[in-house]
A and B are shown apart, each in its own frame.
Chain A
Amino acid sequence: MNRFVLPMAVFVPLVVILAIGIRHAPEKDIIASPLVGKPAPSFSLPDLADASRAVRSTDLKGRWYLFNVWGTWCGGCRAEHDTLLEIQRAGVLPVVGLDWKDDDTEARAWLQQLGNPYEVVAVDHAGRAAIDWGVYGAPETFLVNPQGIVVYKVVGSLTHDVWTREILPRVPRQPFPGS
């Protein structure tokens, strides 16, 4: 009997540690963003509404905003569209869109048809800005504070629950001016 004490003393804690690791692992498809807690990447991209104008990250500083990566080719983006419209109606913070590797005409038609939840949409044909944001799928949404720091990231479709439980509590309640 005694000779099993030592092996068990090693084996049992190992099993317990691994079991805890598996239980508490975040959803394995969701990869923690190294961007959270760091400054949002800077960019200057054409405006979807008017390609002659630019959307610049520097223009976004000084207030809270959601940065939403989407595309008309993306099923999850269609799924979250109603939530984006709900967020727009709530008037707590603006949503800035990044139209990722998409066709401009189709993107404009999509917004016309489904409603436009965005204050402004930046167009990223090459996907260069998306890489800077560490985007690996769409939709992805970043919450950015007035100092330009990424506070939170959502991978996958936004839902009413994510909005009310994860995003709203992180934003101080002050309606944003204008829009």
Chain B
Amino acid sequence: MKHPAAVAILGVLAALAPALPALAVDPTQMPTPELQAHYLALTHEFRCMQCQNEALADSPVSLAADLRAEVRDMLLAGKSDAEVRAFMVARYGDFILFRPRFTARTAWLWLAPWVLLLIGAIVLTRVVRARRALLDQDFEPVDEDARP
């Protein structure tokens, strides 16, 4: 540590670290640990519509807080994950899901990587086969070369 300032900043951060959970965006506490885990999993699954790369769980904007309250109330009312998801999608569309559902519209999104992977695998197999054929032909000379 050459810079005293850097040492000081690290020291302050280290001192603050235990206080960090208190700064969390979402103070919601569900009555049971199971519900709490459930709630956290769900709120991380939805996109905050205002700051679109943030999850509902992490966003400080008031709309996110409102939507988290909806999730909380629905879970407390005994609604299933599927019902909560359906509620969100009916209002905000597939975009609110970080993991879009498999529908006719999103099929290409899910299938394209596998199609590309398949094409890659076919090309790879063909190249390897072609090279192996070359290796068989050239086996003797290569062997000779190795023994000067």
Chain A contact residues, CB within 8 Å of chain B: 6-7, 10, 31-35, 101, 126-128, 131-134, 136-137
Nearest Cβ in chain B — how far from A19, in angstroms?
A: 15
Which residue on B lies nearest to A135, using beta carbons?
Answer: B63
Contact A31 B93 (CB under 8 A): yes
Residues of B within 8 A of A34 (CB): 89-94
Contact A134 B63 (CB under 8 A): no
Nearest Cβ in chain A — how far from B109, in angstroms?
A: 11
Known: A31-B49, A131-B70, A136-B50. A101 touches B93 (CB 8 A): no
- B66 on interface, CB distance cutoff 8 Å: yes
Contact A134 B66 (CB under 8 A): no
Residues of A within 8 A of B95 (CB): 31-32
Contact A126 B66 (CB under 8 A): yes
Residues of A within 8 A of B84 (CB): none
Nearest Cβ in chain B — how far from A31, in angstroms?
A: 5
Say what secondary structure dominates the interface of chain A. Answer: loop
Which residue on B lies nearest to A35, using beta carbons?
Answer: B91
Nearest Cβ in chain B — how far from A20, in angstroms?
A: 13
Contact B92 A134 (CB under 8 A): yes
Contact B63 A136 (CB under 8 A): yes
Chain B contact residues, CB within 8 Å of chain A: 49-50, 62-63, 66-67, 70, 89-95, 119, 123
Contact B92 A31 (CB under 8 A): yes
Contact A32 B93 (CB under 8 A): yes
Q: How far is it, in angstroms, between the C-alpha of A35 and the C-alpha of B90 when the chains are bound?
A: 7
Candidates B66, B89, B123; contact of A131 at CB < 8 Å: B66
Candidates B62, B90, B91, B119; contact of A127 at CB < 8 Å: B62
Residues of B within 8 A of A132 (CB): 91
Q: How far is it, in angstroms, between the C-alpha of A34 and the C-alpha of B119 when the chains are bound?
A: 35
Contact B92 A7 (CB under 8 A): no
Residues of A within 8 A of B119 (CB): 10
Known: A7-B123, A127-B63. A33 touches B93 (CB 8 A): yes
Nearest Cβ in chain A — how far from B101, in angstroms?
A: 12
Residues of B within 8 A of A133 (CB): 91
Residues of B within 8 A of A128 (CB): 66
Which residue on A lies nearest to B108, using beta carbons?
Answer: A17
Candidates A32, A101, A137; contact of B50 at CB < 8 Å: A137
Nearest Cβ in chain A — how far from B65, in angstroms?
A: 9
Contact A134 B91 (CB under 8 A): yes
Q: How far is it, in angstroms, between the C-alpha of A128 and the C-alpha of B73 when the chains are bound?
A: 12
Q: How far is it, in angstroms, between the C-alpha of A136 and the C-alpha of B93 when the chains are bound?
A: 12
Known: A7-B123, A127-B63, A136-B92. 5 other contacts (CB 8 A): A34-B92, A34-B93, A127-B62, A134-B92, A134-B93
